[in-house]
Amino acid sequence: MKRRIPIYKLGRGTEEIDKGLYQAALNSFDAVLSSDPADYRAWIGRGIALAYLGNFEDALLSYDRVLAHNTEDALVWVFRGVALASLNRLSDALASNDRAIAINPGDAAAWINRGADLADLGHYVDAFASFEKAIALNPDDPLAWAGRSTCLTNLGRYADALTSFDHALTLEPDDGYIWTNRSNALLGLGRYADAIASCDRALGIDRRDPSAWYFRGVALANLGRYADAVASYDRSLSIDRRNAYAWYNRGNALRSLGEYEDALVSYDRALKLDQKNANAWTGHGNALLRLGRYSDAVSSYGKALQINPDDHVAWNNRGVALGALGRYTEALASYDRALSMNNDDALAWTGRGVALGALGRYTEALDCFERALEIDPKNAPAWYNRGNALANLGRYDDALRSYDCALSINPGYATAWYNRGNAFLGIGQLEDALRSYDRALEIDPSNPCAWANRGNALGILGRYADAVASCDKALALDPENANAWTGRGVALEKIGRRIEAVASYDKALALDPDHALAWYIRGTALGNLGRYKDALASYDRSLALNPRDPLVWMGRGVALEKLGRFDHSLASYDKALEFNPDDAHVWANRGNALGGLGRYEEALLSYDKALALDTDLTVAWTGRGVALEKLGRIDDAFRSYDRAVTINPDDAVARTGRNTLYGQLSHLNILPPPYASDLAASNAVGVADAGPGRTADLPPGSPDLTLRPRLLYSLRQHRKRNPAGTCSNLHLASALSEIRRMGSALGVPCRVREDAERLCSSKSEEDRLTGGLVQSAAVDALYHACQQASLPVTIDAIIHVSRLSKHEAASIRDTYAVQGSGPLKNAISEDLDRISSALKIDDSQRRRAEELLSGQNLLNTEEVQEPAGIVAAAIYLAARETGKRRTQSEVAKAAGVGIATLRNRYRELAE
């Protein structure tokens, strides 16, 4: 605060001081003192000249020389106080002014300077009283009025301060100091434009007034003119670089401009000047928060709160930083501290709700957002986060209304559009979800999550190529977005790119190994590729994370069923039904597993349960037909097959089952005329026309044979009359048709199926094929063809897709149990024994090699590779997986194959 320097006639040197020639004045006083060291007026003049020259320490020495001679000179005590104040020794300055007043209570200058000392010490009430005393002594002193006004400003009495400043200006209209401090009162009143005008008036008087430039910057910042504010702060700092508040407010303006790095530099300069500036530490934390340097931000807020524990803004923003670090419990405590100081802080209530939501406490979070909106209904983040809490509670309709409120306040709220899309996705309104995602991406095209979920919506809509493109866009922005990799995999699988789909799932799971859903859909994809062992492992990983998901238990059951492990498959289906007893598909699959175990009566009960839940479930009608046929209930089986074909004309198993009966009926010539014409039109099986590559198919609109009891009765009588049969060509055609059907169901290559047909035909020539042996002959031929081709197809897998009766299936199993069977028999089994022995591999490696060979989908290629190469690759891969590595040359040498062959088979096996 400005001090009053008393008028003191000093004789020689006075003229130079009046003219501002302070060095000349000092020289004059020194000349006097060199001739008369006891001239105390000269010592006073010397102190004044030194003070004007900024040499306050030497000025003090001059004043003390006078006071050593005369301690009762009040004016010298006043001069001494001014010098001490200039050295920022405010308490000493106050003591000097008090001594002057004690000597001369009527010295207005002493009272003014005393008020200035008290004000600079922050004692505004006492300072105000001193200025009042000075005004009482001299009502026309503008500096006394200015000091009084400044005290009123700092006491928050802005209107009174403005009146006081205006009175001071009537006394001294061209005093820039008064105009500058008047602007501070106007700032307190929120009259920012008037404050700028007052600063401009001050700057018109003195362009180098740093305070005027500073207050002008504050006013401009409050008007949102941040760039102009920075320019004003820069002008102030070019004059006085030690103004910590100018550096601090410059940092605030830069932060508002989004120039966070520059803001940090300003805050650092402010803190270098004043480490105790709590506001500067808070601003420093705010800039770090915006830069995503959350740990550093927490540290800065901590320093601010050490200085000022009652700074609720620092507590609030500390909570934001802690939340960003995932430290939600600590964030919650920080918000609670902020609210304990200001319970009406809508931002703190909003932040508290966000922390609770992150902790999964959605109902409590909702209460916080409601409280925030009571305080500030226009709080868009509160509406947005309220929507998030409602969505997490499954209240999607309410969430949508909340998002709409947020967007009505801020239509450019990109994340609100994004989560609005998620809510629409949650209730199945896919087109609305897509529109919301598109709007979010229009505002912020760099949001990978929006691109990923947009891809999910497109995938559900069946727009798979677009879904892949959307997920690829997400991954270009964030290659570690597990959701995008998962969605991409789903879409790729739908368009038949299953190997790429599995690769996508693998990427997702490498990023998020605890993603139960991704493990499940990966298992489904692997199952569709025929990699049932790998699928089983994937389902097991999913169940380890979420053991209550019925879909995963069902998928696991299917994989086990495909592997011929029907008892384990049945247990999985039962587990699925434990969690969802009304899933018709699981009941149907359970029937399949029971059929695989030969428990056809129980299978029928499962199929009937499935059909009670869904009367149009094709797989249940088909499975029911197979079970009934196995039990010899031909008429009921026929009805089931026919119902399946009626629902789904593309069901090959049901159509083949129905057509087998048609062929038999046609041969017996007991079809009524309408059926005869229908069968002729569809190239039904006949002795003259039927070849090994043809199958009888009825058109979907054929009359229902099950309505002809006479026909079915005749069929049963025919079976009784002709146990051996006489139509070997018809029986051979039926067997060949069964080989094609079973081979297709198992994915057996065409070449191997043709070998099976030749084996069956040869067997028929050697030993007449009777009707009762058709199914057994087909199973036997297909199994032997697979064994000769070294394909890992088990006898149980073939029996499962056959139409053998329970008794026939048991008989064949017994036969092969005696002979020995398994996927590694013949060449593969022999090579595995030979190479394992040569390399002396342990049991764990051998078991893993067997698993790899039995799980390998060798059926997807028409050319079966050299067995020794495949076995060598399996052993090499097993050694790598079990941590007991073997070199490629070592394994190739033991197998008797080239390294190139080993590498090629290894790549195929690894894929």
Evaluate whether 399 touches 423 at the Cβ level (below 8 Å): yes
Average pLDDT value for residue range 856-869: 52
Helices 244-256 + 226-239 axis angle, to 10: 160
CA 58 to chain centre: 68
More confident residue, 662 or 398: 398
Q: Where are the beta strands (DSSP E) in 474-560?
A: none
Distance (Å, whole) CA 323 – CA 332: 8
Which residues lie below 8 Å from residue 771, measured CB to CB, with a gap of 6+?
Answer: 719, 722, 724, 725, 731, 734
Contact 352, 370 (CB under 8 A): no
Query: Residue 866: what pLDDT?
Result: 61
Distance separating alpha carbons of residues 789 and 751, to the nearest angstrom: 10
**Percent of the chain clearing pLDDT 90 (strictly above):** 65
Task: Please report the pLDDT score of residue 219 as a whole number.
Answer: 98
* Three-state DSSP class for residue 860: helix
CATH 3.40.309.10: does it fit domain 344-437? no
Domains 722-823 and 824-911 share a fold: yes
Stated pTM of the model? 0.62
209: phi then psi, degrees, rounded to nearest 5:
-85, 105
Distance between CA atoms of residues 31 and 26, nearest Å: 9
DSSP state of 212: H
Tell me what pLDDT residue 666 has. 54
Here the tokens at position 320 are 């934001």
Neighbours of 6 (CB within 10 A): 18
* Average pLDDT value over all residues in the chain: 86
Task: Measure the CA–CA gap between 737 and 253, rounded to whole angstroms.
Answer: 84
pLDDT tens, residue by residue, 817-859: 545 444 445 567 777 888 888 888 887 788 778 777 765 444 3
Give residue 847's pLDDT.
77
DSSP string spanning 114-166?
HHHHHHHTT-HHHHHHHHHHHHHH-TT-HHHHHHHHHHHHHTT-HHHHHHHHH
So what's the pLDDT on residue 699? Answer: 31
For 2, the token pair is: 């400005």
At residue 118, the pLDDT reads 97
CA distance 463 to 446: 22
pLDDT of residue 686: 29
DSSP track, 26-72: HHHHHHHHHH-TT-HHHHHHHHHHHHHTT-HHHHHHHHHHHHHH-TT
Per the CB < 8 A criterion, the answer to whether 581 and 545 are in contact is no
Q: Flag whether pLDDT at 537 surpasses 70.
A: yes
Q: Where are the domains of the chain?
A: 260-329, 344-437, 446-513, 636-681+696-712, 722-823, 824-911
DSSP 726: S
What is the CATH code of the structural domain delimited by 260-329?
1.25.40.10
* 89-145 confidence digits (pLDDT tens): 999 999 999 999 999 999 999 999 999 999 999 999 999 999 999 999 999 999 999
Annotation: CATH topology of 722-823: Cyclin A; domain 1 (1.10.472)
Query: Could you confirm whether domain 824-911 is CATH 1.10.472.10?
Result: yes
Question: CA 337, CA 318: separation in Å to the nearest integer?
Answer: 10
What token pair was written down for 773? 């042996």
DSSP 803: -
Residues 6+ apart with CB under 8 A from 633: none
CATH architecture of 446-513: Alpha Horseshoe (1.25)
* Lowest-pLDDT range of 186-195, 449-458, 729-738, 836-845: 729-738
What mean pLDDT do residues 789-813 have?
Answer: 77
- The 3-state DSSP class for residue 727 equals coil
Q: Is 727 exposed, middle or buried (CB count within 10 Å of its CB: 0-12, 13-18, 19+)?
A: middle
Which letter does DSSP use for residue 859 in this model? G
Q: How does pLDDT run across 150-209, given as a tens digit for each residue?
A: 999 999 999 999 999 999 999 999 999 999 999 999 999 999 999 999 999 999 999 999
Q: How many CB atoms lie within 10 A of CB 688?
A: 5
* pLDDT for position 776: 83
Enter the tokens of residue 648: 């789904």
d(CA 586, CA 178): 88
Residue 905 to residues 534, 839, 896, 909: CA-CA distances in angstroms?
Answer: 18, 18, 14, 6
Quote the radius of gyration of the chain (alpha carbons, Å).
47
Q: 112 CB contacts (<8 Å, ≥6 apart)? A: 3, 4, 130, 131, 134, 141, 143, 144, 147
Rounded to 5°, angle at Cα 236 from 233 and 238: 110
Whether pLDDT at 468 is above 90? yes
